C-alpha cells in the first residue's frame, strides 16, 4: 500500500459569524489521499471545497478533527513552521493566478525558492527557466503578467508551485478563469506532472471535463463528502484525445 500524503479524520470547520450565527463549512470529513494520486474535488457552490483546500494548504486552521500532511500534524505548529510547510511541501495554484504584478515570469517562479532562504542564485535561475520551459513558456521569462494571457499566467503559476519540489499541488479551480483550449492545456500539464514525477495533485473543479483528467473524484455537498470514487478511464469519450 502506498503511503498517505493526506490523512484527515473528522475534520470540522465552523465560521462563527456572530454569537448566534455560525456557518458549518465542513461537518466532519474523513479522507485519505495516497502519494501520487490525482484527485478532483467537486460539488455545488458553497459546499466547502475551498474551505478544505485552505486547511489542506495551511492557509487556514480547522475547528476540530485531525489533519496530517506528509506525517506532520499541523495543529502543533506555529506560524513560522506553517510558513515553512507552505513553502516546501505545498504548491498552490489559484483560480485568479495570484502572480505578483510588475514582476517578471522568471522572478515570480523564483519567489518561493527565495523565501526558502538556502537557494543558490544560479541554481535558482536555472531551475526557474527549466520549469518555464516545461510549461511551454521558454522565451517569455522576462514578460510581466500583464503581457501574458490567462492561460500563460496560469502556467507561470504552475511553474512557481513546482520550484521547491513540493509533496502536493493544491489547485482551487485552476481552470475556472480559462477557456476550453487553455483549460485543456493546463490539465495536460497537470496530468503529465502526475504521471512523470508522481507528484500528488488535488484540484477543485466544477467541470466534469476537467475532472475526467484525474483518477479519483470526491464530491462535496453541504460540508460533507457525498461520493468518493475512481474515475473510469476505460471509456474515454468520443472526440477527446487522452494524453
Partner 1 sequence: MNFQNLMRTAIRSLGRNKMRSALTSLGVIIGVASVIMMVGIGNSARVAVREKIFTYGSNAMGVESKKRTFTMSDVEAMKRAIPSIKFISPMVGKTQVTAKYQGAILYSRIRGVNNDFFKIKEWPLKYGRYFTEQEILSREKIVVLGNTLLDELFGSINPVGKVMLINNIPFQVIGCLAESGQAFSGKDQDNLIVMPYTTAMVKISGRNVFNEIFISTFNEQMVEKTEASVRSFIREDRGLAPGTPDDFNITTSKEQLQMAEYISQTLAMLLAGIASISLIVGGIGIMNIMLVSVSERTREIGIRMAIGAKKSDILLQFLIEAVSLSSSGGTVGIIIGLGVYYAITVGVGWDFLFSTFSVVVAFLFSCAVGVFFGYYPARKASNLKPIDALRYE
Ligand X SMILES: Nc1ncnc2c1ncn2[C@@H]1O[C@H](COP(=O)(O)OP(=O)(O)OP(=O)(O)O)[C@@H](O)[C@H]1O
**Could you say which of 18, 45, 80, 101 contacts ligand X (CB under 6 A)?**
45
Kindly state whether residue 177 participates in binding ligand X, applying the rule CB under 6 A: no
Does residue 145 belong to the site contacting partner 1 (CB under 8 A)? no
Candidate residues 44, 75, 83, 138; the one interacting with partner 1 per rule CB under 8 A: 83
Backbone angles phi, psi at 77, to 5 degrees: -90, 150
Q: Where does this chain touch partner 1 (CB under 8 A) — which range of 17-25, 53-61, 135-143, 147-155?
A: 53-61
Q: Which residues contact 131 (CB under 8 A, 6 or more apart)?
A: 109, 159, 162, 163
Cα 156 from Cα 182, distance rounded (Å): 13
For the four alpha carbons of 145, 207, 198 and 7, in that order, the dihedral sign comes to: positive
The residue from 5, 7, 11, 48 that contacts ligand X (CB under 6 A) is 48
DSSP 91-146: EEE-TT--PPTTS-HHHHHHHHHHHHS---HHHHHHHHHHHHHHTT-TT-TT--GG
Give the C-alpha separation, 205 to 241, whole Å.
20
Q: Which of 14, 28, 65, 115 binds partner 1 (CB under 8 A)?
A: 115
Task: Give CA–CA dist 243/229, Å, rounded.
Answer: 21
Burial of 159 (0-12, 13-18, 19+ CB in 10 A): buried
Cβ proximity to partner 1: between 112 and 174 the closer is 112
Among Mg ion, partner 1, ligand X, none, what binds residue 75 when CB lies within 5 to 8 Å by partner kind?
A: none
Burial of 224 (0-12, 13-18, 19+ CB in 10 A): middle
83 binds ligand X (CB under 6 A): no
Tell me the closest approach of the beta carbon of residue 225 to partner 1, in angstroms. Answer: 22
How far apart are CB 174 and ligand X at their closest, in Å?
13
Pick the closer one to partner 1 by CB: 166 or 219: 166
Of 191 and 224, which CB lies nearer to ligand X in the complex structure? 224
Minimum distance between the CB of residue 131 and ligand X, rounded to whole angstroms?
28
Rule CB under 6 A: which residues touch ligand X? Answer: 15, 17, 23, 25, 43, 45-51
- Binding residues (CB under 8 A) for partner 1: these are 54, 57, 59-60, 79-80, 83-84, 86-88, 92, 98-100, 102-103, 111-112, 114-117, 160, 164
Amino acid at each position: 500500500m502506498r503511503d498517505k500524503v493526506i490523512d484527515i479524520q473528522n475534520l470540522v470547520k465552523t465560521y462563527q459569524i456572530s454569537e448566534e450565527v455560525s456557518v458549518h463549512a465542513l461537518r466532519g470529513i474523513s479522507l485519505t489521499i495516497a502519494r501520487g494520486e490525482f484527485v478532483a474535488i467537486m460539488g455545488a457552490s458553497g459546499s466547502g471545497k475551498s474551505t478544505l483546500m485552505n486547511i489542506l494548504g495551511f492557509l487556514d486552521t480547522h475547528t476540530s478533527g485531525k489533519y496530517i500532511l506528509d506525517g506532520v500534524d499541523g495543529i502543533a505548529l506555529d506560524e513560522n513552521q506553517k510558513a515553512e510547510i507552505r513553502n516546501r511541501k505545498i504548491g498552490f495554484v489559484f483560480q485568479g493566478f495570484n502572480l505578483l504584478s510588475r514582476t517578471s515570469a522568471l522572478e515570480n517562479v523564483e519567489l518561493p525558492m527565495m523565501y526558502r532562504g538556502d537557494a543558490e542564485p544560479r541554481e535558482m535561475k536555472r531551475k526557474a527557466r527549466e520549469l518555464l520551459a516545461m510549461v511551454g513558456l521558454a522565451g517569455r521569462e522576462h514578460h510581466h503578467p500583464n503581457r501574458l494571457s490567462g492561460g500563460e499566467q496560469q502556467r507561470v503559476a504552475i511553474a512557481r508551485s513546482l520550484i521547491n519540489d513540493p509533496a502536493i499541488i493544491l489547485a482551487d479551480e485552476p481552470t475556472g478563469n480559462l477557456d476550453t483550449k487553455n483549460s485543456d492545456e493546463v490539465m495536460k500539464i497537470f496530468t503529465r506532472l502526475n504521471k512523470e514525477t508522481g507528484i500528488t495533485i488535488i484540484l477543485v473543479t466544477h467541470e466534469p471535463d476537467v475532472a475526467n483528467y484525474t483518477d479519483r473524484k470526491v464530491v462535496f455537498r453541504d460540508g460533507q463528502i457525498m461520493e468518493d470514487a475512481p474515475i473510469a478511464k476505460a471509456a474515454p469519450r468520443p472526440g477527446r484525445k487522452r494524453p
